[in-house]
Structure 1
Amino acid sequence: MKHNLKADYIKHLVLPFDFYRHELPNAPLKKQGWNDGGLCPFHSDNKPGSFRVNLATGAYKCFACGMAGGDVVAFAMSLYGLKFADALAKLADDWGLV
């Protein structure tokens, strides 16, 4: 039986702090709100501090290349080149939610 993945369910259980700690292991994440996300994973970045992540909402923004998104699902879609449903499935699988 296939599990019906709901975006709200995934976003509720995959907390932005834990998600970005896993996806950006070298980023100096220390506080709530906007944090230095380290080097941008979307381009050949050499300027630490240009990529920011919001640990409350999961939003991200690179001030060098302009890549931005509103939550951990959007990040997974952009980073792995996935469609929405595939990103939900990847997150559910990666985080043991199914």
Structure 2
Amino acid sequence: MFNKKLNADFIKQRLSPLDFYRHELPNAPLKRQGWNDGGLCCFHGDNNPGSFRVNLTTGAYKCFSCGEAGGDVVAFTMAVYGLQFVEALAKLADEWGLL
């Protein structure tokens, strides 16, 4: 059964983009709010450090080499793990103890 709390706004209000990206991109030099170097892009065989950026305020991400981009941690989870929207919400809620 679908949990009524399991929606994107609920997840994004409780999951800090900084904490999320520190977990997902452990080798990235994430230091400040706004756009940060996200390390090598996880969407292609990247060898150009600095082309992948993440926004620690909004959760957005963008690779300037392959063009992969998204607006928040839910979109990132969907893209990286090949999940549908509801599956990504469930994964985030489960992994981050948000239920």
Provide the TM-score with structure 2 as the length reference. Answer: 0.96
Report the counterpart of residue 53 of structure 1 in structure 2.
54
State how far apart, in whole Å, the 2-side matches of 1:21 and 1:52 are: 13
Aligned twin of 1:62? 63
Q: What is the CA-CA distance between 1:53 and the residue it aligns to? A: 0.2
Q: 1:26: Cα distance to partner? A: 0.1
Matched residue, 1:37: 38
Task: State TM-score, norm by structure 1.
Answer: 0.97
In angstroms, what is the RMSD of aligned CA positions? Answer: 0.9
Give the equivalent residue in structure 2 for 1:3: 3
- Secondary structure of the corresponding residue to residue 79 of structure 1: helix
Secondary structure (helix, strand or coil) at the match of 2:62 reads: strand
Number of aligned residue pairs: give it.
98
Q: How far off its partner does 1:3 sit?
A: 2.0
Any stretches of 5+ residues in structure 2 without a counterpart? none
Deviation at 1:59, TM superposition (A): 0.2
Letter in 2 for 1:30: K
Gaps spanning 5+ residues in structure 1: where? none
Counterpart residue number, 1:79: 80
Distance, in Å, in 1 between the alignment partners of 2:75 and 2:43 is 13
Q: Deviations over 1:39-71 (max 9, x none)?
A: 000000011100000000000000000000000
Structure 2 CA distance, aligned partners of 1:60 and 1:3? 28
Identity of aligned residues (%): 74
